[in-house]
Amino acid sequence: FDETMGKREIGGRTLLDYWGYNTVGFFAPNTGYTARQEYNREGTEFKNLIRELHQNGIEVILDVVFNHTAEGNEQGPFFEFKGIDNRIYYMLTPEGNYYNFSGCGNTLNCNHPVVQQMILECLRHWVIHYRVDGFRFDLASILGRNEDGTPLLRNLAEDPVLKDVNLIAEAWDAGGLYQVGNFPAWNRWAEWNGKYRDELRSFLKGEYWFAVQAAKRITGSPDLYGGQYRGYNSSINFLTCHDGFTLYDLYSYNEKHN
């Protein structure tokens, strides 16, 4: 990802971005995360980490961001897909500007078969070579913003290489598409249950009339996942995450201040 985004000098030190959500190389691990230098051995430490976690009964879910890249909007830099084929890799308005369903300046064009193949090959790469156990898809509703259905979501669900891995959708995007409870699942996809987070927070900090909603969430959200092809396993329950409140702040503040 673009480590230079937001780069600045503080107290004589150069501070770089460690957030990791503006992808540049979808197939490459970031060596800045390693304990020691990995010149010409990129990924070795991560592979060893996954192997040791597996030996201790811990699965590894990789957070993947296929909704946008670090190239930004019309004012953003050119260092990958814009130069390869801008109209294939990005969703563009009739005027040639970038749709911004991601909130980050651009939106990857997951309608196009070339982009879909890139995503599929990338996921296979992490499963085959790194043995990850699944993926959490950032702003996954963007992957299904398609006028003729959701071929990418279905292809991922039915792919023989990915058949045993966890597929977890953040079932919304920054453009207003919210699909918690009705994300196209193909009997394979689970969802981040955003309603569990929001309604448990309201209940635990004492808002009126939220006991009924809290009871539904604690018992597996049967109102959302009680259909023939969905079940309680479709719901990934969480209280806080990487871009929300810290657990302490969750019940201390009404709004984020960071």
* Residues designated catalytic: 138, 170
Q: Is 76 left (phi over 0), alpha (psi -120 to 50) or beta?
A: beta
Considering only CA atoms, which of 26, 44, 27 is closest in space to residue 35?
A: 44
CA angle 64, 69, 135 (to 5 degrees): 5
Helix (H) or strand (E) holding 222: helix 222-225
For 74, 87, 90, 98, 110, the CA distances from 77, given in Å and listed in that order, are: 8, 16, 14, 13, 21
Cβ contact 41:30 at 8 Å: no
**Calpha distance 255→238 (Å, rounded):** 18
